[in-house]
Amino acid sequence: MHKDIATPLRTKEILGKYGFSFKKSLGQNFLIDPNILRNITEFAGLSKDTAAIEIGPGIGALTEHLARTSGKVVAFEIDQRLIPILGDTLSPYDNVKIINEDVLEADVKAIIDEEFAGYEDIMVVANLPYYVTTPIILKLLMERLPIRGICVMLQKEVGARISAKPGTKEYGSLSIAIQYYTEAEMVMTVPKTVFMPQPNVDSAVIRLTKREKPPVDVIDEDFFFTVTRSSFAQRRKTILNNLTSQLPSGKEKKEYILEALSNSGVEPTRRGETLSIKEFGALSDALYPHFN
């Protein structure tokens, strides 16, 4: 067994050897606690039959645990300076491939087809850079990749929004977008002390398990997401006010909005945060004919 990368001492050693300095703009915070990494791989439910996709491997702390517990790992690293470091720290593992690319620009589907032939079970497991957490998760879900799910470390507050239930202050269009595709649960909170450098916020691990099919069947997905986003535009406003001000020519079509609310059994005085995904589905289908 090789010495864990994720200890304060070993991390300092590696950074010192390469004269590496953290780039704030890339949201680099490296994990220095092997127990937490073991927990993440456990929550992800990995085995040698699983292929893992990682985003932002840093110096390879989590990558190493993924390499030990899964069949193959492909990691996307945007920072060119980390490529030689990863080549060194991960040299004991022959089942890891590092791709020096921004995952937001990458054709992940093509890479999966090319790298993971023969793997039925694919999981995304990562300690995500905080500044791009949401766009990365939404990209992975909207591209309908053949993955079982996503198990990632992110900012605790974003984790709370993703897994929020209707009627809570965290619940919003992000909760709906992600819960439309997955079942979301926050499985662990993580103190800032286990990172180098320490971030200003606490973190959480969230597990998203892809649904066989969405919890609601809608006429048009894009329009459904437009309606949910519009309903939360100003949280203190009623759903009627938000839809009237946000939907294209909503003011002229106010009577149609009222009619759609009535047909879908939603009181116009309610706020967006009180509606379930199913209610949003019914509402967007009732509005659809008048706005398309």
Q: Which residues are annotated as a binding site for S-adenosyl-L-methionine?
A: 29, 31, 56, 77, 102, 127
Q: What is the DSSP string of 70-127?
A: SSEEEEE---GGGHHHHHHHTTT-SSEEEE-S-TTTS-HHHHHHHH-TT-SEEEEEEE
Residue 264 phi/psi, 5° resolution? -100, 10
Amino acid identity of residue 229, one-letter, is R
79 and 28 Cβ atoms separated by less than 8 Å: yes
What are 95's two structure tokens?
Answer: 């089942």
Q: What is the DSSP letter of 250?
A: T
> 189 has which bridge partners?
204
122 and 53 Cβ atoms separated by less than 8 Å: yes
- How far apart CA 214 and CA 90 sit, in angstroms, is 38
Nearest to 63 by CA among 249, 82, 16: 82
How many beta carbons lie within 10 A of that of residue 170, not counting itself? 16
> 74 has which bridge partners?
53, 97
Binding residues: 29, 31, 56, 77, 102, 127
H-run or E-run covering 175: helix 173-181
Beta strands 182-190; 203-210: pairing state: antiparallel
